[in-house]
Structure 1
Amino acid sequence: MKDFNRTNLSFSLCGLNCGLCPMGLDGHCPGCGGGVGNQSCAIARCSLQHDNVEYCFQCPEYPCQRYEGIEEYDSFITHQRQLRDMIKAQETGIETYNEEQHQKARILKTLLSDYNSGRRKTFYCVAVNLLPLKDIENVMEQVVKDASFHDRTAKEKEENIASLFQEMAARQGLILKLRKKPAKKSE
């Protein structure tokens, strides 16, 4: 979007973790306010009208009607914890929040380069986005400590990691998949 630029391309204006997004990882999206290829966005237009706030939580009108139902469905990145992530970033400070996201991004890159046959990208992105860093690190430690893990096929390793993430998610009541908006019925 013209005239909308931001320095933090890992965490969007509206609370999405762009650094953990499959579109960003593939270079198809520059992130919120990242320049060429940056998509038109109603929330970005709103920021321009409200003193160019870097994060919506800095706006005196936050939370506004734009956030009603925002976590209901996902796009190519999960929206499930968007509002909670905004609160966390606000409470812990953006530097602390970003550092945690960078640690998650490093783990995500390892998962994608070492344990992905091409069919787990979205799953890993959702898992790393939704699960707490401690839980993600716990899964990775289990993998390293499991002597039999390294003797498995690539597909078995991938399935084992996915299973460990699913178990962590189930304990927290999370479902590790994108929630699509239902198609409108034609009449």
Structure 2
Amino acid sequence: MKSTREGTERLEEFKRENPLFSLCGLNCGLCTMRVSSHCPGCGQGNRPCRAARCAMERGIESCFECPEYPCEIYDRADEYDSFITHLNQRADMQKAAEIGIAAYTAEQVEKVELLERLLAEYNSGREKTLFSIAVNLLSVDEVRSAIQEADRETAGLPLKEKAKHMTKRLRKTADQHGIELKLRKKSK
């Protein structure tokens, strides 16, 4: 049997190829903690969670590769959010399994670029979480379209007005899908 220290050292060495998509289905590249450089992403030297420990023991890169997926780890995973929305966690895992991790990662790279653009050009200091959730839950085309329209409609406006306009546009698009652009807190 391994000592606790040996097990901890082994977990701290846990590394993954894809820092944008966590093994449990969260889009780490769109997380406010990663955007703020507070977290490198799943399996990038941070403290592994229960899913990471399981994946490491099984030698898999993503939970959807496991024959037991979805397991009890996912029983209540989408009921509330952490620093990033968990709302599409299972759907994103399914999409990655269907189109392949390379195609899914390419989409995530584009979403990260869109988020970076929103933060650079439309963030007055209060929109980071909202933009992260919007890019995570809306399609690439919807976010790209919102940016293109806002670019035309807000040219020359002060940043605060541009941020207000973008927030309104993203909320309107989300409302059309019945999506609320806010993190769901765990009830105590």
TM-score between both structures, scaled by the size of structure 1: 0.92
Q: 1:67 aligns with which of 74, 98, 104?
A: 74
Aligned to 1:155: 160
The secondary structure found in structure 1 opposite 2:148 is helix
Q: Match for 2:169 among 152, 155, 164?
A: 164
Structure 2 partner of 1:49: 57
Q: Shift in Å at residue 18 of structure 1?
A: 0.3
Return structure 1 stretches of 4+ with deviation > 6 angstroms.
Answer: none
Structure 2, unmatched stretches of 5+, are: 1-10
Shift of 1:152: 2.0
Q: Is 1:126 the counterpart of 2:133 in the alignment?
A: yes
Aligned-residue sequence identity (percent) comes to 47
Q: Give the SS at the match of 2:155.
A: helix
Which letter does structure 1 place at the counterpart of 2:78? E
Q: Which residue is 1:22 aligned to? A: 32
2:18 aligned with 1:8: yes
Offset from partner CA, 1:113-157 (integer Å, 9 cap, x none): 1111111111111111111111101101211333xx113221111
How many residue pairs get aligned? The number is 178
Distance 1:40 1:84 in 2: 22
Which AA in structure 2 matches 1:39?
R
Mapping of residues 34-113 of structure 1, within 5 Å: 34-35=44-45, 38-50=46-58, 52-113=59-120
> How big is each residue's C-alpha offset from its partner over 1:51-106, in whole Å with a ceiling of 9 and x where there is no partner?
x2100000011111111111110001110000000000111111111111111111
In structure 1, stretches of 5+ residues that fail to align are none
How far off its partner does 1:182 sit? Answer: 1.4
